[in-house]
Structure 1
Amino acid sequence: MEERAAVSALDGLMERNCSLIQEIEQDLARLTVAMDQTDTDPDTMSVFSYPEQQDTETVDRVMDLLNSSDPSSVRLDEAKAEQILSLANNMLLLISSQTPIIKSFTKSYSSEVCLDPETAHPKLIISPRGDSAIYTDTWQQLPDLPGRFDTTLNVISLQGFSFGHHYWEIDVTGKTYWELGVTYPNIPRKGTTEDCWLGRGDESWCVEFFDGEYTAWHGGVPHQLPFTKRFCRIGVLCSFPAGLVTFLEAENMTPLFSFCAGTFSDCLHLALCPGHDHNGTNAQPIVICNAPSPTSDL
């Protein structure tokens, strides 16, 4: 009810402002015509020179309108200021109260995934459950499979999805560098081509955290994000009907960035990059929070 009342009040203010603007434009047009006539007729004195020849009513109305629309002249008494502050606080409380509902609704799209060790870079250790990846400085002697990343520290999920809505949460607590997102299965995986990095080609979408800054990537185009806090858990929401990939701060459901792909041309896999350990500052694993339980069938 308060929201509707606020919207109604704003609509009324907008209508009055539009009316004032129209009146000002009409009055200024009349004044312009009068001044033009003065310029073309030397015998006619300026409308501002002799009050008895001025359209004093028009001038007064214009000045009143200009004065009334000057923001610096607006003064609120204490009661009105308290009402506005109370309304703003109530709206913030209303928005905050919806967070549990939004979180519950979003989590209803949770889809279990596990990481595919046959796609993991040889310097990544994948947990037995497939729910985490951690960097090791040792190059593991693993089969050089066609699907394995050999330059970028990437790993993708075993499961791919081609319809519906899907949501995953990834724990990045204690990390100073990570990348996560979704990708088509045809993302390049061999060599030093830039397209092997998440978000650098048209096959993947990601958010990256590096050196205290967040950046969203797709098609090689970076989007700097206005966040500085080191988040602990990131949500990834993928909607095939909407063609949408959205990244969230999972605790408060704060939107970080959304990509509108329109229509996905292939199935999507969750993709992760835990990054190098950076002299021990980024040694923590990157963990999928809704991985399958030990008794689940993959």
Structure 2
Amino acid sequence: MEERAAVAALDGLMERNCSLIQEIEQDLARLSVAMDQNDTEPDTMSFFSFPEQQDIESVDRVVHVLNRTDPISVSLDEVKADQILSLTNNMLLLICSQTPIIKKLYKSYSSEVCLDPETAHPKLIVSSDGDSATYTDTWQQLPDLPGRFDTTLNVISSQGYSFGRHYWEIDVTGKTYWELGVTYPTISRKGTTEDCWLGRGDESWCVEFFDGEYTAWHGGVPHQLPLTKRFCRIGVFCNFPAGLVTFLEADNMTPLFSFCAGTFSDCLHLALCPGHDHNGTNSKPIVICNAASHTSDLGLAPQKSF
């Protein structure tokens, strides 16, 4: 109900703004015509001084908006500046105080997963308990299964989830290149097509870290993130009722990026790419930090992923 009320309020505001913009465009069009008809410089204010009450009201509204948004018209004395600084600090303290609550909420949706070695690229070593993947220069002689990635350095979880809310944390400490996210089991596995990469097709959502830059991907569309700090642990949250995929910095629960898919058409698997060696700087494994499994609201679909 709150969401519908907020959307209705925004719709009304947008409608009023569109109406104001149309009136401004009409005034500008008339001004342009007047300028074309006069060789001398036109009197702009006299152009706006129409006898019609509607035009006068439009001019007043435009001037009012311009005055409110003019930075020069904003003056802060020392007392006001201190008040704003105090309010800002209090807001930051409030946000920080909520971090443990937010972390507890997300962790309540933790779901255990393990990586499926039958999907791992031959240059990935999956741990025996399926909680980590490490890049190796050696091409392992593994069966060429239909579900195995043969070009991209990907591996996905054995478990797929089809409803509910789910949260995972992935340790990327010491790594300079990685990709992680969620994917449908229908993601392409073979060949050099871009759809095999996480986030490059419509079947997957991911965040990528490469050369100090973070990028969120879905449908082949990159979203550059204004972040430079190298994080150690990334949270991935998917919400089936809301059709939402959210990535967070897991220590302080700082939001990184969210995708609103609307409705998921298939079950979702956790997907990881530890990346290549990256000139010897990316040898660390990518590790799933499994929390205690919850039996409620899991929506587990324990089928094979391909």
Note whether the superposition's TM-score is higher than 0.5: yes
- Counterparts of 1:52-63 in structure 2, within 5 Å, are none
- Counterparts of 1:1-298 in structure 2, within 5 Å, are 32=46, 71-290=71-290
Query: For residues 249 and 209 of structure 2, what CA distance do their matches in structure 1 show?
Result: 13
Q: Deviation digits for residues 201-247 of structure 1, max 9, x if unmatched?
A: 11111111111111111111111111111111111000000000011
Q: Give the conservation status (yes or no) of the 8 Å contact 2:110–2:292.
A: no
Q: Deviation digits for residues 54-106 of structure 1, max 9, x if unmatched?
A: xxxxxxxxx9xx99986435443322322221111111111111111111111
Query: For residues 292 and 137 of structure 1, what CA distance do their matches in structure 2 show?
Result: 34
Distance 1:81 1:172, change over 3 A: same
Q: Deviation digits for residues 157-210 of structure 1, max 9, x if unmatched?
A: 010000000000000011010000000001110111111111111111111111
Amino acid across the alignment from 2:84? I
Q: Per the alignment, in what secondary structure is the counterpart of residue 160 of structure 2?
A: coil
Amino acid across the alignment from 2:280? G
Q: Deviation digits for residues 126-147 of structure 1, max 9, x if unmatched?
A: 0011000000000111111111
5+ residue gaps, structure 2: 1-44, 52-62, 294-301
Distance 1:278 1:74, change over 3 A: closer
Amino acid across the alignment from 1:170? I
Distance 1:33 1:269, change over 3 A: closer
Q: Per the alignment, in what secondary structure is the counterpart of residue 153 of structure 1?
A: coil
Query: For residues 191 and 281 of structure 2, what CA distance do their matches in structure 1 show?
Result: 27
Deviation at 1:32, TM superposition (A): 3.9
Q: Give the conservation status (yes or no) of the 8 Å contact 1:114–1:292.
A: no
Distance 1:128 1:84, change over 3 A: same
Amino acid across the alignment from 1:243? G
Q: Per the alignment, in what secondary structure is the counterpart of residue 198 of structure 1?
A: coil
Amino acid across the alignment from 2:112? E
Query: For residues 291 and 68 of structure 1, what CA distance do their matches in structure 2 show?
Result: 51
Query: For residues 152 and 36 of structure 1, what CA distance do their matches in structure 2 show?
Result: 67
Deviation at 1:36, TM superposition (A): 7.3
> Could you state the TM-score of these two structures normalised by the residue count of structure 2?
0.73
Deviation at 1:291, TM superposition (A): 6.3
Distance 1:32 1:152, change over 3 A: same
Q: Give the conservation status (yes or no) of the 8 Å contact 1:114–1:291.
A: no
Amino acid across the alignment from 1:206? C
> Could you state the TM-score of these two structures normalised by the residue count of structure 1?
0.75
Distance 1:68 1:194, change over 3 A: closer
Q: Give the conservation status (yes or no) of the 8 Å contact 2:123–2:140.
A: yes
Q: Give the conservation status (yes or no) of the 8 Å contact 1:120–1:153.
A: yes
Distance 1:76 1:200, change over 3 A: closer
Q: Give the conservation status (yes or no) of the 8 Å contact 1:113–1:291.
A: no
Query: For residues 68 and 198 of structure 2, what CA distance do their matches in structure 1 show?
Result: 55
Query: For residues 74 and 269 of structure 1, what CA distance do their matches in structure 2 show?
Result: 52
Greater RCO, 1 or 2 (C-alpha within 8 Å, sep 6+): 2
Task: Count residues with an aligned counterpart.
Answer: 241
Identity of matched residues, %: 85
Q: Per the alignment, in what secondary structure is the counterpart of residue 85 of structure 2?
A: helix
5+ residue gaps, structure 1: 1-30, 38-62
Q: CA RMSD in A?
A: 2.8
Q: Give the conservation status (yes or no) of the 8 Å contact 2:153–2:274.
A: yes
Q: Which has the larger radius of gyration?
A: 1
